[in-house]
Structure 1
Amino acid sequence: MNSVKWLIRILLVFYLSHFSFPADTISLHHFIQDNNHQVIVSSGNTFALGFFSPGSSRNRYVGIWYHQIPDKTVVWVANRDNPIKDTSGILRIDGRGNLALFHKNQTLPVWSTNISTAGTRNSVAQILDTGNLVLVQNDTREAVLWQSFDHPTDTWLSFMKIGFNLRTGLNQVYSSWKSPDDPGVGNYSLKMTQGVSPQMVLYKGSNPLWRSGTWTGKRWSGIPQMTQNFLFRDSFVNTDDELSFSSDAKNASLITRWVTKETGVTQRMIWNNEAQSWIINAVPTEQCDFYGYCGPNSYCNPYLGDFECTCFPGFDPNHPKHGT
């Protein structure tokens, strides 16, 4: 090999090693552009991060979706209330070390992780096989500066939580999309309540629609389907530092999600690979599931026929024709 070819090879190796990057990472030298149809994909090909348009909309959003499920199933959206109207979006590490979404040549970001402690352009963003997007320091990859799991949209995945970090004030709430064409914050939200008997509550605006009941030590009292749970590892934490609930798939190959829908229900979904479809369980499913359906002095029994509501002893129905 002559000296010229040798020098070219050395320079090429140096160039590729200096500017190469993992396929799951956004760094200072690697950003993704919407007009180039670029995405990053987690190391196990489970999740992808990139630009998308929901439903029939032409608006552009940055989101995370399952990489190997045929229909694009989005589980997280960055700029859900701030869409970009064209394909000029760029997602990159900015000068302060934050992951930020920019529109055309504008200097102010459309969306940003906005962490004041990032403080360095050495940050990298990485999409993990759990579906979590993390911002870390490139030299250590240990301390997580920011993560999407702390800022959920409508979808609850394994290893995510619902509830409160009582030290930092973080409140993990799952809010519906406005519509299948608009991932903006919708009318419905699934939250953990605080107090003597914490429970999960589905709200429409500020009005409760459904509640899980209190934690019995093994399950939520209002979800009898949890009695024999062979698929999920459920954990309820109530300490001075944290009030939370998590429900993780015991089998890592199980694809599952819990979605707060714009239709006013929350759905637990499991992917059936053979049928190429989701197995869905939803609440509320019947009238007795709705919060306060029978009023304060009666109880609801769905097996009573036309009149599900029965007054407690000592009380009479306000509406005899309806049984309450």
Structure 2
Amino acid sequence: MNSVKWLIRILLVFYLSHFCFPADIISLHHFIQDNNHEVIVSSGNTFALGFFSPGSSRNRYVGIWYHQIPEKTVVWVANRDNPIKDTSGILRIDSRGNLVLFQENQTLPVWSTNISIAGTRNSVAQILDSGNLVLIQNDTRKALLWQSFGHPTNTWLSFMKLGFNLKTGLNQVYTSWKSPDDPGVGNYSFKMIQGVSPQMVLYKGSGPLWRSGTWTGKRWSGIPEMTQNFIFRDSFVNTADELSFSSDAKNASIITRWITNLDKVALALFTRVFS
């Protein structure tokens, strides 16, 4: 009888370790499975992370979208050029501490954060209310190991950057989807160009379609709408370590996103309806 009680306790601990977790976290013991329709949701219910199929496609992707906007509005895609053809996908932390997307019965990952984690392999992935998916070293240091904001797709959210980390070589470029049914890297890109006078440029293939003009100290010369009454707080950084531009709405009740579309960069505004 004692052995039966011991077994029940072990099973109960395993059950609780898998199902009692923060709603915004993926850990070594908590993963999300596509066939169970599982998602994680940021603490303020602003963003969700899970599996989805775009448009009329049946392909499956891991993405981030606004949690409380009725029409699913995807702002980031993990495996955008490597879809899964069925609902066997599993997103989890692997034994090396990376966030990894696997397909059932496959040994190679479909997608991974693919970073070298020194010291501890005890990491967790968390979706934040900013829309940023972060991989954190889960110890007293809580060191940031990787973030989706450093690897954008077609959507530029508040506090994201466009440009270069000149120390690491990271170049944050926004690229269009191929089509509404395919989030793969399309033919349009929005990027920062270096030089004596850095600018933001929209490209179709390798050909520029639009330029922001140079930074005047207060605004881009080619965007006269950037006045004192502009709805954004803007930050342009040009140092030996970084060349970047970021922006966020002055009014916290407005949710903004810039989208590199099939033929343009568009600005979408949402009034915050979340509690």
**TM-score, structure 2 length as denominator?**
0.92
Q: Write out per-residue CA displacement over residues 268-323 of structure 1, whole angstroms, 9 at most, x where no aligned residue.
A: 1111468xxxxxxxxxxxxxxxxxxxxxxxxxxxxxxxxxxxxxxxxxxxxxxxxx
Does 2:197 align with 1:197?
yes
Structure 1 residues 17, 273: closer, same or farther in 2, change over 3 A?
A: closer
Q: Secondary structure of 1:35's match? A: helix
Q: 1:15 to 1:110 in 2, by over 3 A?
A: closer
1:160 to partner: Cα distance: 0.3
Aligned residue type for 1:73? T
d(CA) in 2 for partners of 1:272, 1:148: 24
Task: Show CA shifts across 1:228-267 (max 9, x none).
Answer: 34421101000000000001122333211000001x1001
Contact 2:17/2:29 (<8 A) preserved: no
2:254/2:272 contact within 8 Å kept: no
Cα distance in structure 1, aligned partners of 2:141 and 2:67 = 24
Q: Is the 8 A contact 1:118 1:145 kept in 2?
A: no
1:302 paired residue number: none
The one-letter amino acid of 1:93's match is I
| Counterpart for residue 158 of structure 1 | 158
Supply the distance in 2 between the matched residues of 1:192 and 1:23 (Cα, whole angstroms): 36
Indicate the residue corresponding to 2:95 in structure 1.
95
CA distance in 1, matches of 2:272, 2:232: 18
Report what 2:184 is aligned to: 184
| Structure-2 residue corresponding to 1:270 | 269
Cα 1:33/1:18, change in 2 over 3 Å: closer
Q: Name whichever of 110-119 and 214-223 sits farther off.
A: 110-119
Counterpart of 1:63 in structure 2 is 63
User: CA contact under 8 A between 2:76 and 2:154: conserved in structure 1?
Assistant: yes
Q: Give the partner amino acid of 2:264.
A: V
SS at match of 1:224: coil
TM-superposed CA distance for 1:54, in Å, is 0.2
Q: Specify whether residues 207 and 55 from structure 1 end up closer, same or farther in structure 2 by C-alpha distance, changes over 3 A only.
A: same
Matched residue, 1:75: 75
Q: 1:112-133 deviations in whole A, cap 9, x for unaligned?
A: 0000125644110000000000
Identity of counterpart residues, as a percentage? 82
Equivalence for 2:25: 25
Tell which deviates more after alignment, 12-21 or 111-120.
12-21
Distance 1:84 1:117, change over 3 A: same
Q: What residue identity is the alignment partner of 1:32?
A: I
Give the letter aligned to residue 234 of structure 1.
Answer: D
- Report the AA paired with residue 235 of structure 1: S
Is structure 2 residue 144 aligned with structure 1 residue 132? no
- Which residue identity is paired with 1:31? F
Once residues 273 and 237 of structure 1 are traced to their aligned partners in structure 2, the CA distance between those partners, rounded to angstroms, is 29
Q: Match of 1:111? A: 111
**Aligned equivalent of 1:54:** 54
Note the residue ranges of structure 1 that are not aligned, 5 or more in a row: 1-6, 275-324
Q: Using a 3 Å threshold, how does the CA distance of structure 1 residues 268 and 123 change in structure 2: closer, same or farther? A: same
Query: Which consecutive residues of structure 2, in runs of 5 or more, have no partner in the other structure?
Result: 1-5
Q: Measure the CA separation in 2 of the matches of 1:231 and 1:15.
A: 50
Quick check: 2:66–2:72 contact (8 Å CA) kept in 1? yes
Asked if the contact 2:91–2:101 (Cα under 8 Å) also holds between the matched residues in 1, the reply is yes
Provide closer, same or farther for how the CA distance between residues 186 and 175 of structure 1 changes in structure 2, counting only shifts above 3 A. Answer: same
Question: Higher strand proportion, which one?
Answer: 2
Counterpart amino acid of residue 61 in structure 1? Y
CA contact (8 A) 1:97 1:118 kept: no
Greater CA radius of gyration, 1 or 2? 1
Q: Which residue of 1 aligns with 2:215?
A: 215
Which residue does the alignment assign to 2:3?
Answer: none
- Name the CA distance, whole Å, in 2 between partners of 1:90 and 1:11: 25
Q: How has the CA–CA distance of structure 1 residues 13 and 252 changed in structure 2, closer, same or farther, with 3 Å as cutoff? A: farther
Find runs of 4+ consecutive structure 1 residues off by over 3 angstroms.
10-19, 118-121
Separation in 2, partners of 1:90, 1:15: 19
Scaled by the length of structure 1, the TM-score of the pair is 0.78
Spell out, residue by residue over 1:142-169, the C-alpha distance to the aligned partner (whole angstroms, 9 max, x if none). 2110000000000000010000001100
Per-residue deviation at 1:110? 0.3
Count of residue pairs brought into register by the alignment: 268
Larger RCO, structure (CA 8 Å, separation 6 or more): 2
| Stretch moving more, 241-250 or 38-47 | 241-250
Spell out the pairing of 1:238-317 with structure 2 (5 A cutoff): 238-262=238-262, 264-272=263-271
